């Protein structure tokens, strides 16, 4: 049987999954789906070292000072010791596992630092590796002079390059000078789409990191721009998640609530809670400033929830081609407020057929099968 090492900096703990895993929320589902085809060994950051095995899937956890690692900032000198410790721990862990098991392939999620670990470990043992890039790999780390050179080398050394977005795949190809394939990131949700409402009042939901890139502040400003006529068409807004803008978010929600607007603030949601939110909502809002294809897009498609979104990354292409929601003209508060007004004057039930088509295309089982076929099939 073929064996794959899957190296990642973000992997949820199934026991205490809290909704804070960001990009890693779907990695466990991908690993489990891939284990239907081969033996999978996941090497992932965690709060402590330990190994778990179940059938064809073994998880090797290595301890890091802080999770999620995405919150560590190279621009902050106080984070440097934690970053360095995490980088060393990940390389040691992958080297150890690759020395112990005879692998056919290493799959790095994401290009950095996992791709760097995979390149070094693979070279020592003669094992090919592939990378799956996120937007943060290319659009943030790829702009740093020294880091961009390392990133380019990692990408060029990979047997195959994947990206979780269409535009992002083109950017990976441009940076590396080599081909890159789109591989959608999605997680498995145990749910069935419900009936969509045909008239207001509507329920609006936001779930994500409270971070400028995710537009957490844009959404608050857009909601503040809505007048009484628009709010009369809203049953409730549920604002969920957490992150560095928490103080600003709490203040903005409190101000809207004091003005008599029906808005409720909630923290991070685990998988079951997220599904309940999607089933409750008539529209899911994606107010991002920077984005590729967020996992929440495939979540919404699986649960049959229309979107109201800013026009960033691949979202314009997806929303328009599948006809699954309302697209703002710009990633600004004013444009998002206008998109919300248009959504409130339309019917979620009108996009049911588009949601069905998108649900079939964004499926984690299909993504895992394709990776296996590309690299080992």
Distance, CA of 50 to CA of 133 (rounded, Å): 27
* pLDDT at residue 71 in the model: 58
Work out whether the CA dihedral 335, 232, 307, 275 comes out positive or negative.
positive
Q: Are 369 and 37 in contact (CB under 8 A)?
A: yes
Instruction: Set out the domains of the chain in order of their start, with CATH numbers.
Output: 3-186+363-375 (3.40.50.2000), 202-361 (3.40.50.2000)
In a 10 Å sphere around its CB, with 0-12 CB exposed, 13-18 middle and 19+ buried, how is residue 94 labelled? Answer: buried
364 or 292, greater pLDDT: 364
Say yes or no to pLDDT of 167 above 70. yes
| CA terminus-to-terminus distance, the chain | 11
What is the pLDDT, as a whole number, of residue 12?
79
pLDDT digits (tens, 9 = 90+) for 78-90: 767 777 788 898 9
Question: What count of other Cβ atoms lies within 10 Å of the Cβ of residue 376?
Answer: 15
Checking if the pLDDT of 76 tops 70, the result is: no
Q: Which residues pair with 8 in a beta bridge?
A: 44, 109
What is the C-alpha separation between 190 and 197, in angstroms, rounded? 22
Q: Tell me what pLDDT residue 66 has.
A: 67
pLDDT in tens, 226-259: 999 999 999 999 999 999 999 999 999 999 999 9
> In the beta sheet, which residues pair with residue 160?
130
Does residue 113 have a cis peptide bond before it, meaning omega lies within 30 degrees of 0? yes
- C-alpha to C-alpha distance for 45 and 68, rounded to whole angstroms: 9
- pLDDT band at residue 16 using 50, 70 and 90 as cut-offs: very low
Q: Which helix (H) or strand (E) holds 131?
A: strand 129-133
Length of the chain: 377
Q: Are 211 and 181 in contact (CB under 8 A)?
A: no
Contacts of 124 (CB under 8 A, 6+ apart): 95, 98
Mean pLDDT (the chain) is 90
Can you tell me which residue has the tokens 């939110």?
277
Rounded Cα gap, residues 296 and 319, in angstroms? 13
Parallel, antiparallel, or unpaired for β 202-209 and 181-182? unpaired
User: What does the block give as tokens for 47?
Assistant: 């709060």
Token pair, residue 363, equals 């499926």
What number is the average pLDDT over the span 141-149? Answer: 80
Note the pLDDT of residue 20.
53
């Amino acid at each position: 049987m073929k064996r794959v090492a899957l190296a990642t900096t973000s992997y949820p703990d199934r026991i205490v999954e809290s909704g804070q895993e960001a990009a890693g929320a779907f990695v466990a589902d991908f690993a489990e789906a891939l284990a239907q085809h081969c033996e999978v060994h996941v090497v992932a950051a965690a709060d402590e070292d330990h190994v778990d095995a179940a059938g064809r899937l073994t998880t090797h956890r290595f301890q890091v000072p802080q999770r999620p690692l995405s919150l560590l900032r190279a621009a902050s000198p106080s984070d440097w010791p934690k970053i360095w410790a995490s980088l060393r721990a990940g390389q040691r862990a992958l080297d150890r596992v690759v020395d112990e098991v005879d692998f056919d392939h290493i799959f790095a999620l994401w290009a950095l630092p996992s791709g760097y670990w995979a390149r070094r470990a693979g070279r020592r043992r003669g094992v090919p590796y592939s990378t799956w890039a996120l937007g943060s790999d290319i659009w943030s780390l790829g702009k740093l002079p020294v880091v961009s050179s390392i990133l380019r080398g990692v990408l060029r050394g990979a047997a195959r390059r994947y990206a979780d977005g269409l535009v992002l795949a083109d950017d990976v190809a441009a940076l590396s000078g080599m081909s890159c394939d789109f591989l959608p990131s999605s997680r498995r949700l145990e749910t069935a789409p419900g009936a969509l409402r045909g008239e207001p009042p509507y329920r609006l939901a936001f779930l994500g990191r409270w971070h400028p890139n995710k537009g957490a502040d844009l959404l608050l400003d857009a909601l503040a721009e809505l007048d009484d006529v628009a709010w009369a068409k809203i049953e409730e807004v549920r604002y969920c998640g957490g992150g560095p803008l928490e103080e600003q978010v709490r203040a903005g929600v409190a101000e809207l609530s004091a003005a008599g607007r029906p808005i409720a603030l909630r923290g991070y949601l685990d998988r079951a809670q997220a599904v309940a939110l999607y089933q409750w909502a008539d529209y899911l809002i994606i107010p991002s400033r920077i984005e590729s294809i967020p996992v929440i897009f495939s979540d919404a498609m699986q649960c049959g929830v229309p979107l109201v979104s800013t026009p960033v990354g691949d979202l314009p292409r997806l929303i328009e081609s599948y006809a699954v929601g309302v697209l703002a003209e710009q990633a600004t508060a004013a444009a998002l407020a206008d998109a919300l007004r248009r959504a409130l004057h339309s019917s979620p039930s009108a996009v049911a057929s588009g949601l069905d088509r998108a649900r079939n295309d964004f499926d984690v089982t299909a993504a895992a099968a394709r990776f296996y076929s590309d690299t080992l099939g």
